[in-house]
Every structure is written in C-alpha cells, then in structure tokens.
Structure 1
Amino acid sequence: MNFVPKISLSACFCLVAGSLMTTKLSQPQSTLAKSLTSTSTNAPYFKVLESTEIPPYLTNCPSNGLCSRLPPDCMTCNTNYSCVYGKTATFDCKVKPYVHCVDENNHEQENFTINMTCQFCWQLATSDYVCTNSTNCMTVSCPRQRYNATCTVRDHIHCLGNRVFPKMLYCNWTGGYKWSTALALSITLGGFGADRFYLGQWREGLGKLFSFGGLGIWTLIDVLLIGVGYVGPADGSLYI
C-alpha cells in the first residue's frame, strides 16, 4: 500500500507564491548587477567628444600675427554705439576660438582694441568691396540700366553691419569689342557694312551692304554715331 502525503491547498498556494516572489526579486538584482558590471568596464557615460573639424574662418587667420591686423572674420567685436559717422572710433574685440595672435610686445592675447571709421559696410568706397557682374543688361540703353549686384567687403577692411550686401549698380560689362576697331571699319569699309557686322548688328550690316552704304550717307552717319559712342555692340556691352 503506497503512502501518498497529503498537502493542503493553502500550502500549495504558499509554495507557488513564494517561488514567484523569489523569481521577481531575483530579476532586478541580476539586472542591477549586470549594469554595474558593464558600467565598470566601459567608458564613463558623460564623455566629452573632441572635435577635429577645423573652422572655415581659420584658413584666413594668420598665426601669431598682430591681433590688430587680423581679418574681420577672425575676431568678434562689440558695437560702439557712441561713435560718430565718418569719425575714427575704438572697438573692443576678441579673437575667435583657435585663433592665436600677439600684441606689439609679442605677448599672446585674446582681448584687444582696434580703430576703424564709424560707417556701415554698404557706405564704403567702391574700391573697398567687390561686386558681382551681370551680362544680361544693356549698357547703351537710355536711361542707363542698373542691375542687382551682391557685394563683398575686402578682407582687410573693417566696417559695421553685414560684410555681404546687395546694391544697385550701373550695367558696365564688356564683350571685348574695341571702339577704335569699330571706328576704323566704319571709315574704311563702312559702305559694305563691315562696322555693323563687327558689332554683331548683322541686319543693319546687310542693309548697308545691299544699298552700297546708302551712297555714302550711311557711312557718314555711322562714323558720327560710332565716334560719339551712340552705336555700340549688339550684345549691349561697353567698348574696351
């Protein structure tokens, strides 16, 4: 006769509940232990990344030169609100990161002062900035055409405001045509329309060719018009 031990229902419930509690409590402990182990073997969580990228302005900044001679892109200056337009004023400046410069005693410094004229960049003389050109406008039109240009201040010039600015300029481009050549062709071969063909005005050139220069009238008129600069290249450019 086999003896089968009797276990009460309450005892079974306690065993099952105890095993579940043991499993649930063991999981956080193992996870915590694992996290501590992985943290101790890896690098710290807060890690400062060192950037090896060179700032674009640094290529234009001379090393160990005078701070007052640095290009404007190499420094940051405070605006002097008390300066008078057109007068020389002093501005407090600081070099940008990674820029090294010295004073008159060859001592490295970060903060320095510069003297410059109190005026905005778009108020500079035309020789102090470079502007884009346009080949889509007519230089011989009346009134003379203007175009929207983008101007950039030269590196050694200091000024207030944006160093790149828009400006309306007169159309002044050239296609390589010489005034002296056009005048010489008008005097010698103007009856055959050579001057008009040279300037790219082939319709007028054909008219002069088939009319024999208007029996000299067209030749005389073109000599006068080209001589005073009224007749120019067909592309709308200026003479050289």
Structure 2
Amino acid sequence: MAEVSSLLKRLCRVVLFLSQLYVFSGRGSLSFEHFQAAAQAIKDQPHSSSVPPSTTKITEVTPTPDYISKCPSNDLCTKLPTDCMQCSANHSCIYGKPATFECIAKPHVMCVDDNHQKQENFTITMTCQYCWQLPPSDYECSKSNSSICKTVACPRQRYNATCTVKDHVHCLGRRVFPKMLYCNWTGGYKWSTALALSITLGGFGADRFYLGQWREGLGKLFSFGGLGIWTLIDVFLICVGYVGPADGSLYI
C-alpha cells in the first residue's frame, strides 16, 4: 500500500508539471499574449453609459407685451385705449370733421361688441386732426425745461416740451410730439404782498427788495422813492403785473 501511495504522488507531480509546462508554452488560455489581446479588446471597446442622455424639452416662454397692462379684458372694442388697437390711417378726411377708421385689436387683447360677442374688426369715429392739433386738455407735456425761461418778458418766452396724447384720445400721426409752450411757472412770490409793500413801504424800496430786485431797491432807498415819483410808478406797474419777480416767474 505504501508503494501504491508513493506512485500516485509521483504521478500527480508529473501531471501538474506537464500542465504548467503547457500553460507557459503559449497554448493555454492563460498565456501572456492572450492576456494582452483580451486587455486591448476591452480598452478599444466604446464605453456605454447606463444613464440615458437627458431628453428634457425646453419650452420657449413668449414675453407679455407692455401694452397688455393698459388693456381691459372683455371690454367694448370701441372703448379700448389707443395702445390696444391698430387703426388704418385715413389722411383724406376733412380737418375738424368726424371720420370713420377701421381698427383691429392688438394680439392678446380680448374685446367684445355691444352684444358681448368676441370681436376683432371694428370701426371708431373720431375728429379728423393730427395729434399736435389737439386742445391742451387732450395731451400732457413735460415741464422739465419750463423753469429756465422767464414768464415775465416782452415778447413772452416759450420753451421746448415733449407732449404725449392721453390714452383715450384718438388722433392722426405720432402720439408723442414736440411743442413750443409759453413759460408758466412760479417762484412763490405773491402779487398781493408785492402790491401792499409798494403802497406802504415803496418809498424805501421794500417792494423791489421783496421781488429780488436789489439794485432797484437800493436806488429807491437812497433816493427816497425817486422823491415819490418812482414810488407811484411802481405801484401802477406792480398793479398791472408788468413788474414781477426777478427770477422771471409768475405771481401766485
């Protein structure tokens, strides 16, 4: 039995040696060349992500027009502000006469007719005139330059202003236009106060000092009101409004 066991051990060693020799000879599946080929194949294989690319659809948001805030919803089309409608120009109308204009509501504007039915095309009637021909009550003008000119002057001075037609007023042409306006502002001087000082203390130049006219005030003070003649003349000039504040503003 001992001989048989020793023989089996030797046989196992021979088989193990032959198998290792077969592997390192390059024919086995664990050869170095096969290992390099397998590694290169894995490296060349394209990488695939398990997470699919995002396919989120971006929706475009249409901005709301600025005029929408001025346009009432489901109101009569003929009562809409001018910024909410588009009208065809009718320049062949007669000035000062009523004229009919074809109009449509602007996009995103909802309006109805007299029967409360949705309406897109409608007509309006307005006086045939350009925007700059409107009465002053139908437009508003900027007053930023009104204080740089004198209101008390001969001839009366004007200043450049930018005027805008009111929303409910219809007219032809541009709704924003330049216009020459008369100077009309006040510095806080009261006509009644100036007249009272001229009558009571005019001989001392109090009226001229109050109006900011220091040179004339000093002249009246040292000449005792021009011996009374200058005082009487100033009372008349202030009474009719010819003599005003030195800054060129109007009386209150």
Which of the five TM-score ranges fits, normalised by the shorter chain? 0.7 to 0.9
Tell which structure's C-alpha radius of gyration is larger. Answer: 2
Q: Superposition pairs for residues 1-240 of structure 1, below 5 Å? A: 3=21, 4-5=24-25, 16=37, 23-24=43-44, 26-27=46-47, 30=48, 34-35=51-52, 38-39=54-55, 44-49=56-61, 55-133=65-143, 134-240=146-252
For residues 32-91 of structure 1, give each alpha carbon's deviation from its aligned partner in whole angstroms, at most 9, with x where no partner exists: x6445x33xxxx42424366x6x5433333333221111112222233354444443322
User: How far is the alpha carbon of 1:213 from its aligned partner?
Assistant: 1.2
User: Aligned pair in 2 of structure 1 residues 50, 158: CA closer, same or farther (>3 Å)?
Assistant: closer
AA of the residue aligned to 1:192: F
User: How far is the alpha carbon of 1:216 from its aligned partner?
Assistant: 0.4
Q: What is the SS of the residue equivalent to 2:148? A: coil
Q: What is the SS of the residue equivalent to 1:5? A: helix
User: How far is the alpha carbon of 1:129 from its aligned partner?
Assistant: 1.1
User: Aligned pair in 2 of structure 1 residues 207, 50: CA closer, same or farther (>3 Å)?
Assistant: same
For residues 7-46 of structure 1, give each alpha carbon's deviation from its aligned partner in whole angstroms, at most 9, with x where no partner exists: 8xxxx69x75x8657655533xx25x6445x33xxxx424
Cα RMSD, aligned residues only? 3.1
User: How far is the alpha carbon of 1:6 from its aligned partner?
Assistant: 5.0
Range that drifts further, 68-77 or 219-228 = 219-228
The unaligned stretches of length 5 or more in structure 2 are: 1-16, 28-32
The unaligned stretches of length 5 or more in structure 1 are: none
Identity %: 67
Normalised TM-score (structure 2)? 0.74
User: Aligned pair in 2 of structure 1 residues 82, 20: CA closer, same or farther (>3 Å)?
Assistant: farther
Instruction: Tell me, in whole angstroms, the C-alpha distance in 1 between the residues paired with 2:217 and 2:166.
Output: 45
Instruction: Tell me, in whole angstroms, the C-alpha distance in 2 between the residues paired with 1:176 and 1:81.
Output: 46
